[in-house]
Structure formats: C-alpha cells, structure tokens
C-alpha cells in the first residue's frame, strides 16, 4: 500500500511540475510588460500555481493594467505587496500601483500611491502624479530633485522626458528618453515614447525604427502597436497592427476608431462597421466613434443614419469639425444642397487644416449641377492646399462642366502631380477625354 501511495504521490508531483512548465513557457518573456489580453490566462494560471509568489503577482498586475482591467490590476498588485519579501519586487509593485492611478487619471490616488517611497523615488513618483494633471512645470521640479540625488534614476528620466514632451520641447524630451534607454535598452515603453517624439520632430525613419524596436521587445503592447500603425503608411500592415492593438486592449477606443477608418478606406465596410460598434460599446459618448459610425452609414448608403451619428458626435463635442462634415455629407446625399453647403462651411470654419469640407462642397455642388459654386469651392481648396490632389480633381470637374477645357486640363494635370487619395486612372481618362 505504501508503494502504491508513493507512486500516486509521484504522479501528482509530475502533473504539478508539468503545469508549472506550461505556465513558465507561457511566461517566457523576461519583463512583465509583455502581456496584455492575449497572455492574461497564462499570468492568472501562474498566480494560481504559486499564490505566494510576488513576482507572479507583479506580472499579472502589470498585464492587467496594460489591458485596462484597472480594478483587477489594483487588487492583484495590492495582494503582491502583501506577500512581497524582496525589497526590489515590493518597489516594482508600488510603482505599478502608481501607474494604475495615473492610467485612471487620478492625481490624488497617484499622490497617495507615492507614500511608500522616500528620497529619489518619492520625487520621481510625485513627478508622475503631476503629469496626470499635465503639470509639466511641477513635474520637472520634482524630476530635478530626483536626478540631483541619482542622475541615473530611470523613472525620473522617463517622467522628465514626458514633461518636456508636454511642453513641446522635443529636443530635451528626446535627450531624456535616450538617457533613460542608456541603462534600460530593453524597456519597450521608452522606445515607444522616443519614437513618438521623433515623429513630432519630423524624423520619420528613425521614429519608425524606434517604434518597431518597441514592438519587437513587447509584441503585445497596445500602445506600441498603435503608435507604429500611425507612423507607417496606411495599408495591410498598419491594419494588422491596429487589429492587434485593439485585441490586446479591448477598451482602446482610439485603436478601434483608427482601425475602422483604415478598413473603410480599404473598402472593407463590414469590418469597419464592426470596429465602429466595438468603439461605441466601449465609449458610447465618444465623438470620434460616432463620426466613424456616420462614415460607415454613408458607405452603406444610409444618409439619415449618418446625420444622426454626426448629431450624436456634436452632442458630445459641439465644435467637432468631423461631425459637421458627416452631417454635410449626409445632407448632400439626400439632395438638400443648400443645407449641406451651410454644414460644409461650418466644418471648414471649425478646422482650417482639413481640405475635405471644401473638396466635398465642390463635389456636392457639381453633382447638383451648380458648377459656379463648385468652381468657387475648388479654387478655394487649391489655394489653401496647393499640393492636395483631391482639390485639383474637384476643380477640374467643375471647369470641365463649364467648358473651360484648357483650365480643366491644367487642373487634372495638377491633380496627377500632387499628393493625396484620388483615382488616378479615372483622372487620366477625364484628361484624355477633354477636347
């Protein structure tokens, strides 16, 4: 009997070891940052196998925070603090608690989470808390105190970089992030922050390189995936990146909206509709989500629903140029050109950096047979945006309709030489048809 019991015990030990091996394999990435929705099950399994392991609690808490499961992250990190015996593990757990408060935009909570710290960490933590309220001056004062004590303090350097970024001082922000990376080149969030700053400096190639490094270090980071998708040209790769970002953080509204916009541009209307629905489930009052909903409705030939979506966006952001544009487009589709033009002019008045209201107004007027007005909007669009191909194409349409052959030919040629999304083959056919 004893031999049989010993054999059963050995089998149980073997099964337990197998479970541990599976969990450890799933947790192969050395840093806890590399886990969001796709790895939460493995992180949870690890804490069940080793409920007194504070490192496992840290890994799960970090993954939960990055996936935006903030209440669950808070509970797990607090549990980790209670069982932590290693001072460095406890320190990392406290820092994650601060980051949870920061992600919740909770300044008071962030300051309270700083209380376990002293000295250098206390000042670095206070800087992170001030950044919750976008107080760059106060944050820099705290990072200055932290770095005076320890010039290599990683958290202080990162907070300093973010404060400079907030002040639009990209050169100092870049320097701070590079100094933070000097001793922590394996930290994906700093590569991501550096890439974001380099993009603002107009250094596209090096920015993309840094963002790719962030994704390579943490392939499931929603933020790095999203930033890289926005830094490269729209296309299959950027859509895949946005799909991954949205899957890894299901509440990532910006990722859902960007994904839906790119899917719509690629003609994938059904997928864009699902992205819009996902965004609205997460944030039913998001103006951007309602604008995407309106664009999908237009693509599906539902102008009334597009107008309703635009109105819902305006109810949440009264000065949304994109919402006004959706309403204008929907109204134009219904043939109500005068009301549409009023909405187009309102959209242009709210955002002089977007040529779309002028171009769409020109196109709507041309479709309604009002080519004098179409020409006026086209001229305005090309004057304001001389390198925007859709503006020249719209102007060419109105000029051709008025019999201005030479001027139309020049406009179409300018469209083909300019930048922006146009059907180049269609423009070439129209150019060839001019006599």
Residues of the chain under the 50 pLDDT cut: 1-35
Token pair belonging to 217: 């270090």
- Residue 293 is predicted with a pLDDT of 98
Distances in whole angstroms, Cα of residue 363 to Cα of each of 280, 367, 429, 430: 30, 6, 18, 15
Token pair belonging to 261: 């916009």
Longest Cα pair distance anywhere in the chain, in angstroms? 104
Q: Do domains 20-104 and 355-435 have the same CATH topology?
A: yes
Per DSSP, the residues of 162-216 read HHHHHTT-HHHHHHHHHHHHHS-TT-HHHHHHHHHHHHHTT-HHHHHHHHHHHHH
- Are the beta carbons of 243 and 38 closer than 8 angstroms? no
220 DSSP 8-state letter: T
Task: Tell me how crowded residue 215 is: count the other CB atoms within 10 A of its CB.
Answer: 22
16-20 long-range contacts (CB < 8 A, ≥24 apart) are: 16/49, 19/45, 19/49, 20/49
Q: Indicate the burial class of 82 (C-beta count within 10 angstroms; 0-12, 13-18, 19 or more).
A: exposed
Task: Tell me how crowded residue 154 is: count the other CB atoms within 10 A of its CB.
Answer: 18
What values do phi and psi take at 422, rounded to 5?
Answer: -140, 160
Give me the chain's average pLDDT, please: 91
Fold of 252-351: 1.25.40
- Residue 38 is predicted with a pLDDT of 74
Distances in whole angstroms, Cα of residue 400 to Cα of each of 31, 236, 323, 357, 410: 62, 36, 31, 21, 11
Length of the chain: 435
Residues contacting residue 136 through CB under 8 Å, at least 6 positions apart: 130, 163, 164, 166, 167
Closest alpha carbon to 120 in 86, 149, 94, 95: 149
Token pair belonging to 2: 């004893």
DSSP reduced 3-state for 419: strand
Radius of gyration, alpha carbons of the chain: 27
Spatial separation of the C-alpha atoms in residues 420 and 365, rounded to whole Å: 21
DSSP reduced 3-state for 369: coil
- Residue 435 is predicted with a pLDDT of 76
- Residue 14 is predicted with a pLDDT of 41
Q: Indicate the burial class of 206 (C-beta count within 10 angstroms; 0-12, 13-18, 19 or more).
A: middle
- Residue 15 is predicted with a pLDDT of 40
Spatial separation of the C-alpha atoms in residues 72 and 210, rounded to whole Å: 31
* CATH tag, 20-104: 1.25.40
Q: Where along the chain do its domains lie?
A: 20-104, 252-351, 355-435
The correct answer on CATH 1.25.40.10 for the domain covering 355-435 is yes
- Residue 36 is predicted with a pLDDT of 60
């Amino acid at each position: 009997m004893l031999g049989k019991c010993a054999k059963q015990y050995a089998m149980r030990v073997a099964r337990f070891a197998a479970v541990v091996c599976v969990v450890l394999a799933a947790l192969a990435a050395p840093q806890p940052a590399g886990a969001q929705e796709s790895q939460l099950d493995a992180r949870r399994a690890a804490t069940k196998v080793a409920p007194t392991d504070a490192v496992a609690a840290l890994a799960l808490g970090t993954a939960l925070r990055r996936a935006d499961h903030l209440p669950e992250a808070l509970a797990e990190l607090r549990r980790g603090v209670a069982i932590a015996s290693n001072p460095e593990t406890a320190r990392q757990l406290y820092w994650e608690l601060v980051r949870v408060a920061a992600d919740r935009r909770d300044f008071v909570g962030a300051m309270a989470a700083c209380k376990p710290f002293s000295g250098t960490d206390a000042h670095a933590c206070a800087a992170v808390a001030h950044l919750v309220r976008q107080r760059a001056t106060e944050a820099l004062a705290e990072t200055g105190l932290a770095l005076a004590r320890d010039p290599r303090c990683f958290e202080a350097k990162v907070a300093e970089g973010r404060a400079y970024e907030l002040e639009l001082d990209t050169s100092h922000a870049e320097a701070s992030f590079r100094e933070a990376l000097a001793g922590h080149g394996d930290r994906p969030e700093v590569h991501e922050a550096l890439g974001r700053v380099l993009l603002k400096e107009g250094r596209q190639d090096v920015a993309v390189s840094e963002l790719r490094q962030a994704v390579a270090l943490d392939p499931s980071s929603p933020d790095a995936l999203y930033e890289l998708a926005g830094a490269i040209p729209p296309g299959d790769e950027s859509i895949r990146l946005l799909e991954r970002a949205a899957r890894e953080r299901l509440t990532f509204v910006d990722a859902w909206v960007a994904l839906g916009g790119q899917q719509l541009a690629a003609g994938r209307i059904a997928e864009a509709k699902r992205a819009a629905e996902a965004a609205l489930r997460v944030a039913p009052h998001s103006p951007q989500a309602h604008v995407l909903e309106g664009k999908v409705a237009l693509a599906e030939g539902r102008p009334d629903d597009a107008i309703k979506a635009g109105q819902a966006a305006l109810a949440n952001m009264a000065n949304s140029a994109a919402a006004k544009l959706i309403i204008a487009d929907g109204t134009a589709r219904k043939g109500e050109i005068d009301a549409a033009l009023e909405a187009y002019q309102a959209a242009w008045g709210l955002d002089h950096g977007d040529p779309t209201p002028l171009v769409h107004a020109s196109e709507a007027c041309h479709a309604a047979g009002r080519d004098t007005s179409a020409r006026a909007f086209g001229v305005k669009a090309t004057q304001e945006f001389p390198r925007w191909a859709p503006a020249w194409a719209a102007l060419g349409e109105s000029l051709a309709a008025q019999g201005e052959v030479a001027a139309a030919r020049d406009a179409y040629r300018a469209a083909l030489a300019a930048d922006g999304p146009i059907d180049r083959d269609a423009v070439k056919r129209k150019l060839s048809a001019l006599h």
